[in-house]
């Protein structure tokens, strides 16, 4: 399946499909899960086990036009300082419910711009986190770094707290593209941030790039990729720009007429992909690349890579607790999401509540379908019989979930002895193929383009 016409026939250039960082996807979360459920779920976490922790900081100094993240602009530290106090209070409530000897396997700060926190706030917050649970022996502590919003004292505070992986947003280095997406960020300032991280011993580096931006061409993305490679990252995320101005109003500032066509988006992705592969990176799932010695690639090869709200991970913990406004947690029993509006989140946390607004309790069917979809997104194949065994489901019924898929997506999948594989040439269709196993109604307007 090499031709665009075949990919078009199978819907690649028209479909809007979930990214499947959860199953069911967040639009299906509802009000049936509340603080009572979640405190029971936290209390059920076994002692001496490891958890992942995500801290969300929904503030930015500037609001980039392309960004659909739920975040608010602030020009001073006051709201951020008050928010850190609320995070500490939420962590204290978490601690009351959590076994004493739990440790953290993965700690990630995202946003928004977590590097808006001043050095004393970083020390204060990490102290509160490690009071709930210390980092485990081989734990990863990563933070999303905005090169425009970082300085030596902040990096010193993060390094002192144990930061060992940094994630830098780049999008594209072309100045004209940066201007029309409202995100100026020179290569020089990005390189300074990288050098400052490395000078503090933080060697593991992830860079986020976007394809499908206005005015992006093969030549421009090639130039950006080469600049990214000169920074020596060990992991790269190559996401498609999601133009959803009906959900993210600031995207109305993006010149729609300058957006590449779906076919051009695929060309841009393939151009960047070829450059990463030629430089020795391994392809990780649908949108990541990693060096052979990186933990993600090792996990992929070992078949232990997982997918969660942060994308691909080598973290095996079944519990990911999200702290902060709008954060989503995953427990073996289901998902729970905090209040999205920062004011409402703060009001509830200050009262000593877990600020759960909605969520979803897993059914057996959710767990089975979610695991099948996760395998497809991670491995481009799924052993349906083995997955049935793993999830305590009936083999024949599980294999039958794929009935009709090969006919509806001709030339894209193979089924041999209960193992469903996506052909290499059909990998761009992976999210569409995964949707086949999604039992929930889909409102396509909320999802991003399939390519």
Q: Which residues bind ligand SF4 (CB under 6 A)?
A: 60, 63-64, 67, 69, 71, 111-113, 146, 169
Q: Which is nearer to ligand SF4, 139 or 143 (CB)?
A: 143
Cβ of residue 250: shortest distance to ligand SF4, in angstroms? 8
- CA dihedral 190→62→320→82, nearest 10 degrees, is 120
Cβ of residue 174: shortest distance to ligand SF4, in angstroms? 16
Cβ of residue 118: shortest distance to ligand SF4, in angstroms? 17
Cβ of residue 73: shortest distance to ligand SF4, in angstroms? 8
Q: Which is nearer to ligand SF4, 18 or 169 (CB)?
A: 169
**Which residue's C-beta sits nearest to ligand SF4?**
67
Give 83's Cβ-side CA count (13 Å radius): 30
Measured distance CA(86)–CA(101) in Å, rounded: 24
In angstroms, the Cα distances linking 288 to 18, 44, 88, 138, 313 are 17, 33, 33, 22, 11
Measured distance CA(49)–CA(51) in Å, rounded: 7
Per-residue buried b or exposed e for 209-247, using 16+ beta carbons within 10 Å of the residue's own CB: bbbbbbbbeeebbeebbebbbebebbbbbbbbbbbeeee
Q: Which is nearer to ligand SF4, 64 or 197 (CB)?
A: 64
What is the torsional sign of CA 93, 95, 96, 102?
positive
Cβ of residue 71: shortest distance to ligand SF4, in angstroms? 5
Q: Which is nearer to ligand SF4, 67 or 388 (CB)?
A: 67
Packing angle, helices 78-97 and 342-350, rounded to 10:
50
Q: Which is nearer to ligand SF4, 1 or 80 (CB)?
A: 80
Measured distance CA(126)–CA(41) in Å, rounded: 24
Cβ of residue 159: shortest distance to ligand SF4, in angstroms? 22
Cβ of residue 63: shortest distance to ligand SF4, in angstroms? 5
CB atoms within 10 A of CB 275: 18
Measured distance CA(35)–CA(357) in Å, rounded: 8
The strand pairing partners of 205, in sequence order, are 166
The strand pairing partners of 209, in sequence order, are 171, 238
Cβ of residue 180: shortest distance to ligand SF4, in angstroms? 14
Q: Which is nearer to ligand SF4, 3 or 76 (CB)?
A: 76
Tokens in use for 217?
A: 């061409």
* Closest to 26 (Cα-Cα) out of 307, 317, 360: 360
Cβ of residue 249: shortest distance to ligand SF4, in angstroms? 13
**DSSP code string of 26-80:** GGG-BTT--HHHHHHHHHTSPTT-EEEEEEEE-EESS--TT--S--EE-SSSHHH
Q: Which is nearer to ligand SF4, 69 or 259 (CB)?
A: 69
Cβ of residue 66: shortest distance to ligand SF4, in angstroms? 7
Sheet with 419-422, edge to edge strand ranges? 381-383, 419-422, 413-416
Q: Which is nearer to ligand SF4, 121 or 376 (CB)?
A: 121
């Amino acid at each position: 399946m090499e031709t665009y016409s075949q990919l078009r026939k199978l819907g690649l250039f028209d479909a809007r499909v979930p990214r499947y960082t959860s199953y069911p996807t967040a639009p299906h979360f509802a009000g049936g899960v509340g603080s009572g459920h979640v405190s029971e779920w936290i209390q059920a976490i076994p002692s001496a086990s490891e958890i992942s922790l995500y801290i969300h900081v929904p503030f930015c100094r500037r609001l980039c036009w392309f960004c659909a993240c739920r975040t608010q602009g602030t020009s001073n530290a006051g709201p951020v300082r008050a928010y850190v106090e609320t995070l500490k209070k939420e962590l204290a409530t978490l601690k009351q419910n959590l076994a004493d000897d739990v440790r953290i396997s993965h700690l990630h700060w995202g946003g928004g711009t977590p590097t808006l926190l001043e050095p004393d706030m970083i020390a204060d917050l990490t102290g509160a986190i490690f009071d709930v649970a210390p980092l485990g022996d081989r734990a990863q502590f990563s933070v999303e770094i905005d090169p425009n919003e970082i300085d030596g004292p902040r990096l010193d505070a993060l390094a002192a707290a144990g930061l060992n992986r940094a994630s830098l947003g780049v999008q594209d280095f072309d100045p004209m593209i940066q201007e029309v997406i409202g995100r100026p960020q020179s290569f020089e300032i990005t390189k300074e941030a990288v050098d400052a991280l490395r000078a503090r011993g933080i060697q593991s580096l992830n860079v986020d790039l976007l394809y499908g931006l206005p005015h992006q061409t093969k030549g421009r993305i090639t130039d950006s990729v080469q600049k990214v490679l000169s920074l020596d990252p060990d992991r790269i995320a190559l996401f498609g720009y999601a133009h959803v101005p009906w959900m993210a109003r600031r995207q109305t500032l993006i010149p729609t007429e300058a957006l590449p066509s779906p076919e051009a988006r695929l060309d841009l992705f393939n151009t960047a992909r070829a450059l990463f592969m030629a430089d020795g990176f391994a392809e990780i799932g649908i949108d990541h690349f990693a060096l052979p010695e990186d933990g993600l690639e090792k996990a992929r090869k070992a078949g232990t890579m997982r997918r969660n709200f942060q994308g691909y991970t080598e973290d095996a913990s079944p519990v990911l607790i999200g702290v902060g406004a709008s954060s989503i947690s995953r427990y073996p029993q289901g998902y729970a999401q905090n209040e999205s509006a920062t004011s409402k989140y703060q009001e509830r946390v200050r009262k000593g509540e877990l600020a759960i607004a909605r969520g979803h309790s897993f059914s057996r069917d959710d767990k089975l379908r979610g695991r099948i979809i996760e395998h497809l997104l991670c491995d481009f194949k799924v052993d349906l019989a083995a997955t049935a065994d793993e999830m305590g489901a009936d083999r024949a019924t599980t294999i039958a979930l794929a009935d009709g898929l090969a006919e509806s997506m001709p030339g894209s999948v193979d089924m041999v002895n209960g193992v469903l594989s996506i052909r290499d040439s059909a990998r761009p269709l992976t999210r569409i193929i995964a949707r086949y196993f999604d039992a929930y109604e889909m409102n396509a307007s909320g999802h991003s383009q399939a390519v």
